[in-house]
Amino acid sequence: TDYPQFERLTAKINRERKLRWVLHAGDIKAGSTPCSDAMFYDRLERYNQFRAPVILTLGDNEWTDCHRLAAGEYQPLERLDKLREVFYPEPGIVTLGGRSMRVNTQAEIPGYESFPENVWWQRHGVLFSAIHVVGSSNALAPFAEGSAAVRTEADDAEVAARIDAAVAMLDLVFAKAQAEDAPGVFIMIHANPGLERGQRGTEDREGFVEFLTALEQHTKAYDKPVVLAHGDSHYFRIDQPPLVNDGFIDNFTRVETYGSSHVHWIRVRVNPRSEQVFSFRQELVEGNGE
């Protein structure tokens, strides 16, 4: 039932001739639907319908949570390997979408060859990056009871390696931003790392502390506009929440995109000559609900 909504979204975005690229913050399927190869290839075909380049960061629904009974009781790491094969076949060379775009990939850095999905690129001095940080406590959540899938030491090791890679990506991006006096930094992850107060994930930030700590330190030292965009909890918002320590950081903005039954998009305007650099506008797709 969501396919017609997504097709209307695709058509509207394709009419926007000035868009440079499309970012997708993960969750390419519902958590309770099968994590099959057929589903992966279906999504690949759909994302390739966008005329602009598409940069995807992976979400928890398509691999982390695939141990669930309704999702097919897959071993998550096996699904992660398949996702990388399908969506990142030529790291750094081929993005998704009808028009490809060259990006820099962490897979080209010794020691991080297994992370083709972690990428960065630059336009008019502004730095952009997609980093693999997922919901479900960044893949630390227990597997479903009764599932044939069994959590092993390899699953824990994967989380540790991916956190290390994510922090290394932040280090790289901000070092480049500092060295080149970049006007701004835009980072996309999938997970909602519990930034909002009084809602899910505020106290328990298991799996996210290292990433948020590094982001906070870099943002304060950089002292120019930094945006963290994410999905996961499917609640549209633009705000300036604290990261790790209880304090307002005036150059930090969080943007959460639409998701689930609200199939809309957010336009990000980037003006390197503007003091704020980034501005945002809701783009509601007619016929796609509220």
Query: 45 and 87 in contact (C-beta within 8 Å)?
Result: no
Strand, coil or helix: what is 137? Answer: helix
- pLDDT exceeds cutoff 80 at 180: yes
pLDDT > 70 in the chain, percent = 97
Question: Whole-model pTM?
Answer: 0.96
Pick the range with the lowest mean pLDDT from 141-145, 167-171, 188-192, 203-207. 203-207
- pLDDT exceeds cutoff 60 at 200: no
Query: 36 and 44 in contact (C-beta within 8 Å)?
Result: no
Return d(Cα 6, Cα 249) in angstroms, integer: 35
What phi and psi values does residue 219 have, to the nearest 5 degrees? -60, -45
Query: 61 and 136 in contact (C-beta within 8 Å)?
Result: no
* Listed residue (261, 170, 266) closest to 220, CA to CA: 170
Query: 101 and 56 in contact (C-beta within 8 Å)?
Result: no
Which pLDDT score is estimated for 289? 73
Query: 64 and 135 in contact (C-beta within 8 Å)?
Result: yes
Cβ-count burial of 141 within 10 angstroms (0-12 exposed, 13-18 middle, 19+ buried)?
Answer: middle
Return d(Cα 215, Cα 223) in angstroms, integer: 12
pLDDT tier at 245, thresholds 50, 70, 90? confident
Mean pLDDT computed over 1-7: 89
> Residues 6 or more apart from 165 whose CB is under 8 A from it?
106, 112, 115, 118, 132
The one-letter amino acid code at 88 reads Y
Q: Which two tokens stand for residue 146?
A: 């009764």
Query: 97 and 91 in contact (C-beta within 8 Å)?
Result: no
Mean pLDDT computed over 233-253: 91
* Listed residue (153, 169, 31) closest to 109, CA to CA: 169
Return d(Cα 15, Cα 19) in angstroms, integer: 9
β 237-239/226-230 pair status: unpaired
* Listed residue (35, 95, 61, 282) closest to 191, CA to CA: 61
What phi and psi values does residue 222 have, to the nearest 5 degrees? -75, -45
How high is the mean pLDDT of the chain? 94
Which pLDDT score is estimated for 185? 98
Q: Dump pLDDT digits (tens) for 107-159.
A: 999 999 999 999 999 999 999 999 999 999 999 999 999 999 999 999 999 99
pLDDT tier at 203, thresholds 50, 70, 90? low
Return d(Cα 36, Cα 62) in angstroms, integer: 9
Which pLDDT score is estimated for 199? 44
Which pLDDT score is estimated for 247? 82
Return d(Cα 154, Cα 14) in angstroms, integer: 41
Return d(Cα 56, Cα 285) in angstroms, integer: 21
pLDDT > 90 in the chain, percent = 87
